[in-house]
Structure 1
Amino acid sequence: MRPQDSPTRETKRLDGRWHFLADPAGAGRAERWFATPLQARDGVEEMPVPASYNDLTTRPDLRDHIGEVWYQREVRIPRGWAGERILLRLESATHRATVWVGETELGSHEGGYLPFDVDLTDHARAGELVRVSVAVDNRLTWQSIPPGVVEDTDAGPRQRYWHDFFNYAGLHRSVWLHSLPQTRIEDITVLPDLDGDTGLVDYAVEHSGQGSVSVQVLDASGAVVASDDGAAGVIRIAGVHPWEVGEGYQYTLRVTLSSDGEVADVYDQRFGVRTVAIEGAQILLNGEPVYLTGFGMHEDHVARGKGYDDASWKLDFELLDWIGANSLRTSHYPYAEDVMDYADAHGILVIDEAPAVGLNMAIGGGIFGGQGYTTFSPDTANEATRANHAQVLTELYQRDKNRPSVIVWSIANEPESDTDASYDYFAPLFAHMRSLDSRRPVGYVNVMLSPYGKDKLAGLCDLYMLNRYYGWYVDSGDLDNAMLHLRDELGQWAQDGKPILMTEYGADTLAGLHSLDGATWSEEYQQDLLEATHAVFDEVEEFVGEHIWNFADFQTTKGIMRVDGNKKGVFTRDRRPKAAAHRVRERWTRIRGRA
């Protein structure tokens, strides 16, 4: 559960400037950098948290650094926390981290896009000043999610990876110090349902120590509308206000744990009352068909990289509303909890995606072509990889299970899916995700190298999510043939009677480049491609949504196919609309029924 302030809990945010030192030689652990103040070492500098460190200096060696970097700061434990359990929470350390307080190693975490806690209770006293050190490692391996490999070259080691976005690293989201009571609430699960105008809230509470649980449901105004006693039960909300697209109405489940007649812990869990189901070829929200409009997006901003920033995301959501989007996919990793909070509060539908991107050696950096490796083998992506993948899915579910915005789980983006080895790898992961959550649809995002009939994972999916670049990577510049081929393939997928969602389509577009004949890379070609593609979508009854790739231009690794990043955005990287944005707005606001 995310830290919060309550009558029994307190938080202290540790964002700001930390002491920072890159460790290209890998000497930090052996030399015990955690044991002394980092600022006494040569080369130390200040680094903002949250932020990627890559673009915040003028040094190419730091931008392309491989290995660990060290963050350190001193923090005073609040005096009022005596007798409490004290934890440090890192919301994102990409891609793994180890944490020390003073000279004591407290723990490590694998996976760069999900939060983790370490326990300081036995190593810090209330009122005491402690030194916190974090070693953050950006190296990708065959067992990490996403995968990669550090290769030896004539000029030294180079990080190689197969996802088409820059490998930004650092402490990307907030760091918290937070207190918990010794007898406490450990977990809350809320499973809402609708019965006419009555909300049915199936809840379960886990707690430590001896105690009794009582719950209240508060509406958006703070009024108590229902209550119950016990650690599990079903609460009825008469005249329920459902959570809807564009109207993120939320209730609060206030959980109180009492022990020996005293309140031991209180936690407020927000939730929305809504249902999600697939019926035939439709996605139903609260029993009604919904058509998704929106984007694959990236946590990518100028200077900050993947670092979370309230102002930047505020603008992004305003632009989503302006253009008529009702949804997004967290491509290709879980987004910050603040982003998810906004989606919950504003009725934005989310396809929540695990960071399993790059599990396909037929693709690399957006360029079609073999990579010289076998995707699934004992020496590449193997059982250890799948174990990490399953752990990521578990952590993703635990973090986002109570969110009304999350309507689909995506367990991977564009993996190899046309081999027996790929089926053997993914089938247990689909089963694992469904064992965690039987209520939400589960799927993965299919790449065009695995078309209908060749793909082996289709039978595992509740819906089809397709990435297709007809008119760009295929039939480049030839929209007539591109649309014929798109129409033909969608017709094949439609035979199965499942919902079809286009999760990526589009064209690289250089803002300001214009052409009378609609040449590729021009703003006119982006408009023409999107409009032609939308016309085909409208012919397919099984089609349930369109997510353009991408919301905004974003940074990638260096390469001859990318000029200062991926330029498929409808907005530039600094969030200025390209001409296509206005055409898309006309379509999506019409679909949404807004003038």
Structure 2
Amino acid sequence: MLYPIMTTTRNLIDLSGVWRFKLDDGKGIENGYFKDRLYGKVYNMPVPSSFNDLIEDKEVREHVGAVWYEKEFELSKGILNEDRVVLRFGSVTHKAVVFLNGKEICRNKGGFLPFEVVLEKDMLVNRNRLTILVDNTLDNTTLPVGGVKELDNVSKGLEELMIPKVKRHIAYCVDFFNYSGIHRPVKIYTTPKEFIKDITLITDIVEEKGIIDYSVQASFDGDVFVEVIDKEGKNIATATGKNNRIEIENAKLWEPGAAYLYEIKVTLKDGDKILDVYYEKCGVRTVKVEAGKFLINGKPFYFKGFGKHEDSNSNGRGLNEVINRKDFSLMKWIGANSFRTSHYPYSEEIMRLADEEGIVVIDEVPAVGLHVNFMNTYMGIKSSQSTWEVLKTKEQHEKDIRELIKRDKNHPCVVMWCVANETALEEEGSYAYFKPIIDLARGLDAQKRPITLVSHIAYPLNTEEAHKVCAELDVLCFNRYYGWYWGVGEVELVEGVIVKELEMWWEHHKKPMMYTEFGADTVNGLKETTPVIYSEDYQQLYYEVHGRAFDKMEYFIGEQVWNFADFATRYDSIMRVGGNKKGIFTRERKPKMAAYTLKKRWEQIPDFNYKK
């Protein structure tokens, strides 16, 4: 899916700003909220943003179910005269039903990827009313997986104390807050009747030549003219045809920390008549897994970085260009070169910024929570439930993989696809579920990037089912919390455990391995003379010990800390005080002591050839 831009043949309108907002009372559809202007208890709500933290009302913050957004707009005669007028949503969490002037025009399920609908001319009037029903309910068919449960604050056996009963509906989605709303921009763009539908780029490096194989999909079987423009604005290569190869002598490569982007100008013509023009950025680089190494441009790459979240004060998960800029600056300051989009696709704006800044990305679908026995695995308890019989996520999982790869396929920053995080890998049925998912992702990506799936520690660890899934992957990624959830307070003892487990996986699969999560909750400012849990001293020691273990492993290709910054979590859990505190930076983006520990380590580790 092409990102909406303005060109000589395309117009663009951003509907971001203040919308009208109303909680649904369970009867919004029945009462026809979409038929007329929203009325009653209506708030002003900025778009994009999460609605949860923007109104000082517990009912709003904890709302589970439907809400309504409304925006009125007019279109100029110039826009109305365009052949195609398209309404596009960057993301709506997690389900959306879209009404225009009281009539339903589209609906979407999935909270982290764009969707769009063509606005037919007979739908539009002088002043248009756009109404969106947004539903944040999670269940066993959604990604993330979640649910709604009714809580009672009276423990069994204490009824005689006459404590008032309070029943609440709580959405749960593992260990991050279920921020909801219209999280990314809502835009209207236009195209000519005959237009460029999609562009696919595949790059290679042969000797000193940069190779760009391109494919253009268009609605019209006309002529396609392609130009390559360098950073100085010079046209350095041309080609014709919907499918062709372009060779660039002495090409400048896209590399971590040293990004170089060419601009690909695609023109669709009918003879001498220009029908449509679109620009796509292109970074010439290669990605390959070979002999236990992860190669970018043929050189062994070492991942240094973070698991992150789209999360900031007040804004929640809404697009925040200022925070994105700050986060990239902090990543470069600390010596990081990469992050994972845990646990969902991030905004297109973040991906475009990563391209520009030379930050490497592991791109992940929102397949988190696929484990109905997750807590039991912590305690070594065998459950009678089967995750793969209870969950009904396959349809949504395949939809998200298709849409993620379609959206992000041309980004040079994306070097690996992650198809799930911390699933019931050890349970019977996981191979039957994931084999088609992995094959789908592999078949969809023209660049043939490596595929991974992030595993967690489970008991039993060494199951045949888990090994069958791992055999299908290109890189083994581990979330491990030795010294925190296991051996808490005894981090000095876990170095040998880390090495022993990694040796086991290498012996079984002979594949490159990396940690995609490891960390310890830390209260900013808590200092101790001896390292105790929650102190900054303990967090520093934690990363020092892990670094020593990682350096012993020849085929260990990277370390991504959990987490970049403290983030919001569920508010009904006594495990978290004000959110997850495993951040190297506070939620306000201030460094903890461990930031300097990691900075010292990572600045001494080169991006390439650290593990030769």
TM-score by length of 2: 0.93
Which of 601, 605, 612 in structure 2 is aligned with 1:587?
601
Which residue of the partner structure matches residue 158 of structure 2? Answer: none
Which residue of the partner structure matches residue 33 of structure 2? Answer: 33
- Change beyond 3 A, Cα 1:545–1:329: same
Which residue of the partner structure matches residue 5 of structure 1? Answer: 6
CA drift at 1:30: 1.5
Which residue of the partner structure matches residue 94 of structure 1? Answer: 93
In 2, the alpha carbon distance for the partners of 1:370 and 1:120 equals 54
In 2, the alpha carbon distance for the partners of 1:291 and 1:115 equals 32
Question: Counterpart of 1:515 in structure 2: which amino acid?
Answer: E
CA drift at 1:516: 1.1
> Matched residue of 1:248: which SS?
coil
> Matched residue of 1:34: which SS?
coil
Residue 497 (structure 2) pairs with residue 498 (structure 1): no
1:299-314 counterparts in 2 under 5 A? 299-314=310-325
Q: Deviations over 1:345-386 (max 9, x none)?
A: 1111000000000001232599768798835354x213xx11
> Matched residue of 1:409: which SS?
strand
1:475-490 counterparts in 2 under 5 A? 475-490=487-502
CA drift at 1:205: 0.6
In 1, the alpha carbon distance for the partners of 2:142 and 2:258 equals 38
Q: Deviations over 1:256-277 (max 9, x none)?
A: 1112531110010111000000
Residue 472 (structure 2) pairs with residue 463 (structure 1): no
In 1, the alpha carbon distance for the partners of 2:82 and 2:142 equals 38
Which residue of the partner structure matches residue 401 of structure 1? Answer: 409
> Matched residue of 2:34: which SS?
helix
Q: CA RMSD in A?
A: 1.9
Residue 420 (structure 2) pairs with residue 419 (structure 1): no
In 1, the alpha carbon distance for the partners of 2:380 and 2:565 equals 25
Which residue of the partner structure matches residue 442 of structure 1? Answer: 451
Q: Deviations over 1:153-186 (max 9, x none)?
A: 5555623434210000001111101111110011
Which of 193, 213, 216 in structure 2 is aligned with 1:205?
216
Note if contact 1:466-1:504 (Cα within 8 Å) is conserved in structure 2.
yes
Q: Give aligned pairs, total.
A: 587
In 2, the alpha carbon distance for the partners of 1:494 and 1:371 equals 27
In 1, the alpha carbon distance for the partners of 2:374 and 2:221 equals 54
Which residue of the partner structure matches residue 194 of structure 2? Answer: 183
Which residue of the partner structure matches residue 530 of structure 1? Answer: 543
Note if contact 1:84-1:121 (Cα within 8 Å) is conserved in structure 2.
no
Which residue of the partner structure matches residue 167 of structure 1? Answer: 178
In 1, the alpha carbon distance for the partners of 2:419 and 2:346 equals 14
Greater shift, 388-397 or 28-37, is seen at 28-37
Greater shift, 432-441 or 470-479, is seen at 432-441
> Matched residue of 2:540: which SS?
helix
In 1, the alpha carbon distance for the partners of 2:189 and 2:378 equals 45
Residue 273 (structure 2) pairs with residue 266 (structure 1): no
CA drift at 1:121: 2.4
In 2, the alpha carbon distance for the partners of 1:276 and 1:474 equals 35
- Change beyond 3 A, Cα 1:31–1:463: same
Q: Deviations over 1:25-83 (max 9, x none)?
A: 32111222111111xx1100100111100011111111110111111011111321214
**Unaligned ranges ≥5, structure 2:** 153-165
CA drift at 1:530: 0.5
Which of 53, 56, 60 in structure 1 is aligned with 2:54?
56
Which residue of the partner structure matches residue 294 of structure 2? Answer: 283
Which residue of the partner structure matches residue 163 of structure 2? Answer: none
Note if contact 1:164-1:366 (Cα within 8 Å) is conserved in structure 2.
no
Which of 136, 139, 144 in structure 1 is aligned with 2:137?
139
Q: Deviations over 1:487-543 (max 9, x none)?
A: 211111222321111000110001111111101110000000100110000000011
Question: Counterpart of 2:402 in structure 1: which amino acid?
Answer: T
Question: Counterpart of 2:391 in structure 1: which amino acid?
Answer: A
Question: Counterpart of 1:36 in structure 2: which amino acid?
Answer: D
TM-score by length of 1: 0.95
CA drift at 1:592: 3.4
In 2, the alpha carbon distance for the partners of 1:160 and 1:116 equals 24
Note if contact 2:223-2:271 (Cα within 8 Å) is conserved in structure 1.
no
> Matched residue of 1:583: which SS?
helix
Note if contact 1:140-1:149 (Cα within 8 Å) is conserved in structure 2.
yes
Residue 100 (structure 2) pairs with residue 105 (structure 1): no
Note if contact 1:101-1:123 (Cα within 8 Å) is conserved in structure 2.
no
- Change beyond 3 A, Cα 1:587–1:153: closer
Q: Identity over the aligned pairs, expressed in percent? A: 40
Which residue of the partner structure matches residue 162 of structure 2? Answer: none
Q: Deviations over 1:104-140 (max 9, x none)?
A: 2110111000001012123455x83211111111001
> Matched residue of 1:516: which SS?
coil
In 2, the alpha carbon distance for the partners of 1:447 and 1:530 equals 19
In 2, the alpha carbon distance for the partners of 1:204 and 1:593 equals 32
> Matched residue of 2:284: which SS?
coil
In 2, the alpha carbon distance for the partners of 1:448 and 1:504 equals 11
Which of 392, 398, 402 in structure 2 is aligned with 1:390?
398
Note if contact 2:292-2:512 (Cα within 8 Å) is conserved in structure 1.
yes
In 2, the alpha carbon distance for the partners of 1:227 and 1:365 equals 59
Which of 468, 472, 475 in structure 1 is aligned with 2:484?
472
Q: Deviations over 1:187-220 (max 9, x none)?
A: 1100111101111111111111342111111111
Which residue of the partner structure matches residue 20 of structure 1? Answer: 21
Q: Deviations over 1:406-462 (max 9, x none)?
A: 000000000000122111111110011111126100010010116763224211110
> Matched residue of 2:530: which SS?
coil
Which of 588, 591, 594 in structure 2 is aligned with 1:574?
588
In 2, the alpha carbon distance for the partners of 1:108 and 1:173 equals 16
Which of 567, 570, 584 in structure 2 is aligned with 1:557?
570
Residue 255 (structure 2) pairs with residue 255 (structure 1): no
- Change beyond 3 A, Cα 1:490–1:372: closer
- Change beyond 3 A, Cα 1:142–1:177: same
- Change beyond 3 A, Cα 1:340–1:592: same
Note if contact 2:171-2:178 (Cα within 8 Å) is conserved in structure 1.
no
In 1, the alpha carbon distance for the partners of 2:111 and 2:49 equals 13
Note if contact 2:308-2:339 (Cα within 8 Å) is conserved in structure 1.
yes
Note if contact 1:161-1:364 (Cα within 8 Å) is conserved in structure 2.
no
Which residue of the partner structure matches residue 381 of structure 1? Answer: 391
Which residue of the partner structure matches residue 41 of structure 2? Answer: 43
Which residue of the partner structure matches residue 159 of structure 2? Answer: none
**Unaligned ranges ≥5, structure 1:** none
Question: Counterpart of 2:89 in structure 1: which amino acid?
Answer: L
Residue 331 (structure 2) pairs with residue 330 (structure 1): no
CA drift at 1:250: 0.7
In 2, the alpha carbon distance for the partners of 1:194 and 1:450 equals 44
Residue 355 (structure 2) pairs with residue 344 (structure 1): yes
Question: Counterpart of 1:58 in structure 2: which amino acid?
Answer: E
Which residue of the partner structure matches residue 218 of structure 1? Answer: 229
Greater shift, 490-499 or 185-194, is seen at 490-499
Question: Counterpart of 1:506 in structure 2: which amino acid?
Answer: G
- Change beyond 3 A, Cα 1:419–1:584: same
